[in-house]
Chain A
Amino acid sequence: MTIDVRIPTILRTYTGGEKAVSGSGETLTALLDDLDSRHTGLRGRLITDDGTLHRFVNVYVNDEDVRFLGGLDTKLADGDSVTVLPAVAGGR
């Protein structure tokens, strides 16, 4: 099982500068655990201490925002592609 994961510029310090890495997992949580075993610290930038997806990032599975899928429990299959982006927001 191989899932391609695109990493944004700001998180490439965790991937040795690579734009994309690959990993495996039946769910997004499992994939992030797998990635963290080779890219230590990456998971901590995406998941809060409470185990929820950080609001400062967007994660997409096959170009769908996982907030509209199953969040961290989103199921993954061989060949899926995951994209991580920094979210952009602000306010008054």
Chain B
Amino acid sequence: MLELPQTMIDAMVAHARRDHPDECCGVVVGSAGRPTRLIAMDNADRSPTGFAFDSDQWLRVYREVDDADEEFLVVYHSHTMTEAYPSRTDILWSRTTPFPHWLLVSTRSPDEQELRSYTIVDGTVAEEELRVTPG
């Protein structure tokens, strides 16, 4: 189960809509398992079919989080033509860069909000409950 405040959900969806038709990406940082802030990352690929964290930005963000003894709780990205389900590429990358939660936003429909959360452990995808809290 992943619990996130409504403000973070809104920020992720807005980010995905803004970058559409390209994919967007970012992280939620936490402390002691609780989400504390969302960091929108630049998609270095600027592509409708993939994303890659900008390497300079990722270095700054990683160092800041590591130095503060915070943790990366969620990686999020959008799919712009397909459903909000981890792709084969996502699963491949999850093996070398694990995150506790993978959140996907689909922007294929301009009207419907599609947002789902997963765990991906050793290549096995499991959808989990996404609980939205006020705030």
B residues adjacent to A (C-beta < 8 A)? 23, 25, 41, 45, 47-53, 55-56, 58-59, 62-63, 66, 75, 77, 79-82, 86-87, 89-90, 93-94, 96-98
Contacts and interface: CB of A to CB of B under 8 A. Distances in A.
A65 B87 CA distance: 27
A65 B62 CA distance: 14
Most A CB contacts (10 A, CB to CB) among B50, B58, B96 go to B96
B25 A91 contact: no
A90 B50 contact: yes
A87 B81 contact: no
Contacts of A8: 62, 66
Nearest to B95: A56
Contacts of A90: 25, 50-51, 77, 86-87, 89-90, 93-94
Contact of B89 (A65, A67, A85, A91): A91
Contacts of B94: 90
A92 B25 contact: no
Contact of A91 (B41, B51, B58, B66): B51
Interface string A64-92: 01010000000000000001011111111
B53 A92 contact: no
Given A89-B52, A90-B94, 13 more contacts: A8-B66, A19-B66, A57-B96, A58-B59, A83-B59, A87-B97, A88-B52, A88-B58, A88-B75, A90-B77, A91-B51, A91-B89, A92-B79
A5 to B, nearest CB: 14
Interface in A43-60: 56-58, 60
19 contacts: A8-B62, A9-B66, A10-B98, A56-B93, A60-B59, A63-B59, A65-B56, A67-B55, A83-B59, A88-B53, A88-B97, A90-B77, A90-B90, A91-B51, A92-B23, A92-B80, A92-B81, A92-B82, A92-B87
